[in-house]
Chain A
């Protein structure tokens, strides 16, 4: 293996990793604050992709406008789910919460088929970010470089929001000591709704950004990504954003190197890493101790 293929395998791994991170960030934020592992997060990703696509079509083909409007529509969906469904099952046992979000996965998969059809839709290219650049004699898609840049920016933004702002302080307070936060006047239910909607928005943005990256919209796209996002969230430590970022990098690189050297065991490696982390360090890289 020479230098340029090493660089290219790394680049592919980085873009895959950053792409999963965009989805896993919202999942991790919601788990960290609300304590709910949200199967429907993959559906938000899918809905984000489809809504952005439709918004783009309706508004004259501007990708950025689609990216802005599409995820906002999905936020409304997230609001309804948290306010009218999820809120009523926080007190119940874990299976009910998981199955409730799973029911929404089935619901949205079917709704997408009704609204947009069961077939795949080809995605439009993004002006200014289409085509490839020559890196060390091989071509690499510009859009994937864009994803590699956007991922860390999102991470930076989230870090600043949570560590440096007033809202972040309240979020941290409510996630560590729910009762105490409520006692000093934080409106915890409203905060939960807000965090859930924000997490929904992150997932939907991930989906909107995924459209040009994977090139196709398919009704089952959410189910494939949610498992990868689970893996990343678990490896990093459930609820830890820092961990999810690192986990996404590890999984991205593992899958690109795995595809290169052990193509038959690419998926196997991912899950064996997930199981190993759960067994030896269930709190993940940075999670709270179990």
Chain B
């Protein structure tokens, strides 16, 4: 029974997601869309953090790379959402190649500080290059035009139809990240986290593998940014701010570090709990920080860790 539990959970989760898309109200659909987008962001982040053990404070820059890449493309080049998403992901990945090239030279605290510096450089550029990025207003009026695929034209203007596009991309991301995790590449990453020296002695280039993980997680952050922009029809410069980089780390921590489902469970708990708590009080941050403290002090396996009976 224990063996099949994860598959059973995945099946129930998928069925619930489809059901919400089919019969859910407007608000539930919007909320679940946000959960899925944050899941993509956090799962991508976890390629770097959970697998490779590198703590980045600059991933908001890649989220913003995807958001502004898609926004600028849709506004100035071609209002095609799917191409926009591709452009957004490409922008984020490119940005991650450039920034990652420098950042993977260090680990631990120096890596965290380098990513912080580069991330804030991107933030300051977005903030100050008003003519291109709209400065503190961000880009507005990004409309979900129908996706043209040859003779076909798929409308996604309705939240419900856009919901299924996000769901499809979430499933694609889950599949890809699962494959990455279990590929030789993913195993080397786990090896680097556990024992860097040994992996290096085996003849593996640590820097290249770290850069690979960095770029992959940057690309998923870009996908989340592009999808988030389409959901809200606008971008915000604060999506590039370092404090936004903390979000995927925190939800991953709640869900469970080094678990596959952790980022997704954490995202759902984060967003749903926030909505529930904000119904009653304005002090969401207070409760959230208390939850974080409890998890860090006593339950470092997160929710998934508790459920699967693993405590770290």
Q: Report which A residues bind B (CB closer than 8 A).
A: 37, 85, 88-89, 92-96, 98-100, 102-104, 106-107, 109-111, 113-114, 223, 227, 230-231, 234, 238, 264-265, 267-268, 271-272, 274-275, 278-279, 282, 290
Select the stretch in B84-92, B101-109, B161-169, B226-234 that faces chain A. B101-109
Bound together, the chains give a CA A113 to CA B283 distance in angstroms of 9
User: Given A110-B283, A227-B242, A279-B102 in contact, is the A104-B110 Cβ separation under 8 Å?
Assistant: no
User: Given A102-B246, A264-B128, A279-B114 in contact, is the A94-B108 Cβ separation under 8 Å?
Assistant: yes
Across-interface contacts of B106 in A (CB, < 8 A): 278, 282, 290
Across-interface contacts of A223 in B (CB, < 8 A): 243
Residue pair A104, B296 in contact (C-beta under 8 Å): no
Asked if B120 is an interface residue, CB under 8 A from chain A, the answer is yes
Question: In the complex, how many angstroms separate the beta carbon of B252 from the nearest chain A beta carbon?
Answer: 10
Asked if B264 is an interface residue, CB under 8 A from chain A, the answer is no
Residue pair B124, A103 in contact (C-beta under 8 Å): no
Residue pair B113, A278 in contact (C-beta under 8 Å): yes
CB < 8 Å: which of A238, A274, A290 contacts B117?
Answer: A274
Residue pair B114, A267 in contact (C-beta under 8 Å): no
Q: Which of B113, B284, B288 has the most CB of A within 10 A?
A: B113
Q: Report which B residues bind A (CB closer than 8 A).
A: 49, 53, 55, 102, 105-106, 108-110, 112-114, 116-118, 120-121, 123-125, 127-129, 242-243, 246, 249-250, 253, 282-286, 288-290, 292-293, 296-297, 300
Across-interface contacts of B249 in A (CB, < 8 A): 95, 99
CB < 8 Å: which of A100, A272, A279 contacts B293?
Answer: A100
Bound together, the chains give a CA A98 to CA B123 distance in angstroms of 22
Residue pair A96, B296 in contact (C-beta under 8 Å): yes
Name the residue on B nearest A272 (C-beta): B121
Residue pair B292, A268 in contact (C-beta under 8 Å): no
Across-interface contacts of B120 in A (CB, < 8 A): 227, 267, 271
Residue pair A274, B105 in contact (C-beta under 8 Å): no
Residue pair B250, A99 in contact (C-beta under 8 Å): yes
Question: In the complex, how many angstroms separate the beta carbon of A285 from the nearest chain B beta carbon?
Answer: 15
Residue pair A265, B128 in contact (C-beta under 8 Å): yes
CB < 8 Å: which of B55, B285, B296 contacts A89?
Answer: B296
Across-interface contacts of A37 in B (CB, < 8 A): 109, 112
Residue pair A274, B128 in contact (C-beta under 8 Å): no
User: Given A98-B112, A102-B246 in contact, is the A271-B117 Cβ separation under 8 Å?
Assistant: yes
Across-interface contacts of B108 in A (CB, < 8 A): 94
Across-interface contacts of A282 in B (CB, < 8 A): 106, 110
Name the residue on A nearest B286 (C-beta): A110
Bound together, the chains give a CA A271 to CA B128 distance in angstroms of 14
Bound together, the chains give a CA A111 to CA B289 distance in angstroms of 11
16 contacts between A and B (CB under 8 A): A85-B293, A93-B53, A94-B55, A96-B300, A103-B296, A106-B289, A106-B292, A227-B116, A227-B242, A265-B124, A268-B124, A272-B117, A275-B117, A275-B121, A279-B114, A282-B106
Across-interface contacts of A227 in B (CB, < 8 A): 116, 120, 242
Across-interface contacts of B289 in A (CB, < 8 A): 103-104, 106-107, 110
Bound together, the chains give a CA A79 to CA B285 distance in angstroms of 22
Across-interface contacts of A279 in B (CB, < 8 A): 102, 105, 114
Bound together, the chains give a CA A53 to CA B129 distance in angstroms of 38
Across-interface contacts of A234 in B (CB, < 8 A): 113, 117
Bound together, the chains give a CA A85 to CA B246 distance in angstroms of 20
Name the residue on B nearest A96 (C-beta): B296
Using A98-B55, A113-B282 as known contacts, list a sample of 7 further A-B pairs with CB atoms less than 8 Å apart, ordered by residue number in A. Answer: A100-B296, A106-B288, A110-B283, A227-B120, A272-B117, A278-B110, A282-B106
User: Given A94-B109, A109-B285 in contact, is the A230-B49 Cβ separation under 8 Å?
Assistant: no
Bound together, the chains give a CA A106 to CA B286 distance in angstroms of 7
Residue pair B283, A114 in contact (C-beta under 8 Å): yes
Bound together, the chains give a CA A151 to CA B293 distance in angstroms of 35
Across-interface contacts of B285 in A (CB, < 8 A): 106-107, 109-110
Bound together, the chains give a CA A95 to CA B300 distance in angstroms of 11
CB < 8 Å: which of B114, B282, B296 contacts A275?
Answer: B114
Bound together, the chains give a CA A104 to CA B297 distance in angstroms of 13
Question: In the complex, how many angstroms separate the beta carbon of A242 from the nearest chain B beta carbon?
Answer: 19
Bound together, the chains give a CA A282 to CA B253 distance in angstroms of 29
Bound together, the chains give a CA A88 to CA B300 distance in angstroms of 13
Bound together, the chains give a CA A227 to CA B123 distance in angstroms of 13
